[in-house]
């Protein structure tokens, strides 16, 4: 990238995208004004006035507003809506010199099925019979195919971390509220998070200080990103959960996770077994909150329920069956779950869990192979991720190797609230010792991104 001008880089990424099967699925549209912004960035570099992310193109999940771009939320219900201004995260990246380049595919309203009725399925660049994972489908695929340096995604039950795991990239679900959600179509006002996705944890660490911090239009936002540097793993206390995260988990995922733990221990980390508590109840309560708020959000469109795709429609109908009492009880128990997780982490710096419990799932059957048994998407995709949406703790997904069939697998690094920087520092230290994050699909050129 350093040898290319922003104009040349943008042109090459455009050419790569239109010539790529992944690009045609993952990229819904190029964002107006990107070329003008690239010329402005080139001028700033020549004049010595470059900003922190000057001239770096990025992709935007199609639920996040970008001024002048069509934002569909992957739905037939949104028509041809053109955003009139940038979401807060996009505006902050623009101000730092980054260039909004492409709108990227999502499942419908970030909760639908892989087979989107408006833009189709986004196939996994490593194997077209498999899915990228939802709901930041286009973000995960575009990064795996090296069509972009970084992208924005959202995470309500795992939607940054699942495609990161299945596409062999790195993705951070920040601490709840650290990155504002103004200008982002909501799924669940209690659980929604916005965060960055990239190939390298170091890139996420460069992005987070720019997008973090309170925004006046998002009353739930606040806090600051604290950059952290590690000189290695010496003295780091890594919590290893004793329950839940391995219960529905393929041997290939577990093996890569255990190998990663052994590597970090050999470099001086101390592994500490921790009891994560009643994760099953917190997981169920997370689903109760998500489905209830989803149904409430789309209640005005219920007379057009047949226009939703099968996955979104099913979840909306499920949410409408949840009683107010059950929803409020799920919210009432949330502070206790936060306290229990904080107590479990009291004597460690971070947790390290297996990522998603199997390699990328199959598009035809909508299931995942777990040690030879087929497990439905909904029973495995959010299993190891929902807890941290419900509690709001930061969680980083990063590649940990290859599974039994050679597809990417991942592990998850979880920090205490507002210790996102430490999660990323652990990720950077791990990636300094491994090359899993440098792997790409066989037909993908890895130069300049």
Q: Which helix (H) or strand (E) holds 353?
A: strand 350-354
Q: Tokens for 426, please give them.
A: 């652990």
Give me 242's structure tokens: 């004793």
Catalytic residue among 139, 159, 170, 400: 159
Residue 159 is a catalytic residue: yes
- C-alpha separations of 449 from 4, 9, 282, 343, 442 in Å: 11, 9, 39, 41, 16
266 is catalytic: no
In the set 20, 61, 170, 416, the catalytic residue is 61
Torsion region of 43: left, alpha or beta (phi above 0 gives left; psi -120 to 50 gives alpha)? alpha
How far is CA 359 from each of CA 170, 171, 257, 305, 325, rounded to the nearest angstrom?
15, 17, 13, 32, 37
**What are the residues whose beta carbons fall under 8 Å from the beta carbon of 328, sequence distance 6 or more?**
none
420's enclosing H/E stretch is helix 420-433
State how far the Cα of 249 lies from the Cα of 232, in Å rounded to an integer.
29
Residue 48 neighbours by CB under 8 Å, 6+ apart: none
Question: Alpha-carbon Rg of the chain, whole angstroms?
Answer: 20
Contacts of 323 (CB under 8 A, 6+ apart): none
Parallel, antiparallel, or unpaired: how do β-strands 350-354 and 237-241 relate? Answer: parallel
CA–CA dist 360, 365 (Å, integer) = 12
Catalytic: which of 135, 136, 139, 188? 135
Q: What tokens appear for 418 in the block?
A: 């507002």
27 in Cβ contact with 59 (< 8 Å): yes
14, 195, 255 from 309: Cα distances, Å: 30, 25, 36
**61 a catalytic residue:** yes
Tokens of 365: 């059957």
**CA pair distance 119, 75, nearest whole angstrom:** 9
My answer on whether omega of the bond before 241 falls inside 30° of 0, hence cis, is: no
What single string gives the DSSP state of each residue in 235-268? T-EEEEE-SSTTTT--HHHHHHHHHHHHHHHHTT
- The catalytic site residues sit at 61, 135, 159
């Amino acid at each position: 990238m350093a040898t290319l001008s922003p104009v040349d880089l943008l042109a090459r990424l455009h050419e790569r995208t239109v010539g790529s099967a992944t690009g045609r699925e993952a990229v819904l549209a190029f964002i107006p004004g990107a070329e003008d912004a690239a010329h402005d960035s080139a001028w700033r570099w020549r004049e010595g006035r470059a900003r922190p992310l000057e001239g770096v193109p990025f992709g935007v999940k199609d639920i996040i507003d970008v001024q002048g771009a069509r934002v569909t939320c992957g739905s037939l219900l949104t028509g041809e809506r053109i955003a009139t201004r940038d979401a807060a995260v996009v505006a902050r990246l623009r101000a730092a010199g980054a260039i909004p380049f492409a709108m990227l595919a999502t499942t419908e309203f970030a909760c639908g099925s892989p087979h989107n009725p408006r833009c189709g399925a986004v196939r996994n660049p490593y194997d077209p019979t498999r899915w990228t994972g939802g709901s930041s489908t286009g973000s995960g695929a575009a990064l795996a195919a090296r069509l972009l340096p970084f992208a924005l995604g959202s995470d309500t039950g795992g939607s940054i971390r699942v495609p990161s795991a299945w596409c062999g990239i790195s993705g951070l679900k920040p601490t709840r509220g650290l990155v504002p959600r103004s200008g982002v179509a909501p799924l669940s006002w209690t659980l929604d998070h916005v965060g960055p996705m990239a190939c390298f944890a170091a890139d996420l660490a460069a992005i987070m200080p720019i997008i973090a911090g309170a925004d006046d239009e998002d009353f739930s936002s606040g806090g600051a990103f604290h950059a952290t540097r590690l000189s290695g793993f010496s003295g780091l206390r890594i919590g290893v959960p004793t329950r839940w995260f391995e219960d529905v988990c393929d041997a290939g995922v577990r093996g890569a996770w255990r190998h990663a733990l052994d590597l970090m221990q050999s470099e001086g980390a101390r592994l500490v077994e921790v009891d994560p508590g009643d994760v099953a109840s917190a997981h169920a309560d997370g689903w109760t909150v998500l489905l209830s708020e989803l149904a409430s959000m789309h209640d005005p469109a219920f007379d057009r329920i047949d226009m939703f795709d099968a996955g979104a429609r099913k979840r909306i109908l499920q949410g409408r069956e949840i009683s107010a009492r059950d929803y409020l009880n799920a919210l009432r128990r949330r502070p206790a779950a936060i306290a229990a997780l904080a107590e479990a982490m009291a004597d460690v710096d971070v947790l390290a869990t297996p990522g998603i419990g199997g390699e990328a799932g199959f598009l035809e059957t909508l299931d995942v192979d777990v040690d030879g048994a087929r497990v439905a998407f909904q029973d495995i995709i959010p299993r190891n991720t929902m807890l941290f949406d419900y509690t709001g703790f930061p969680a980083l997904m990063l590649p940990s190797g290859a599974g039994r069939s050679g597809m990417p697998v991942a592990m998850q690094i979880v920090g205490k609230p507002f210790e996102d920087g430490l999660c990323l520092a652990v990720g950077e230290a791990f990636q300094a010792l491994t090359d899993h994050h440098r792997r790409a699909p066989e037909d993908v050129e890895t130069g300049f991104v």
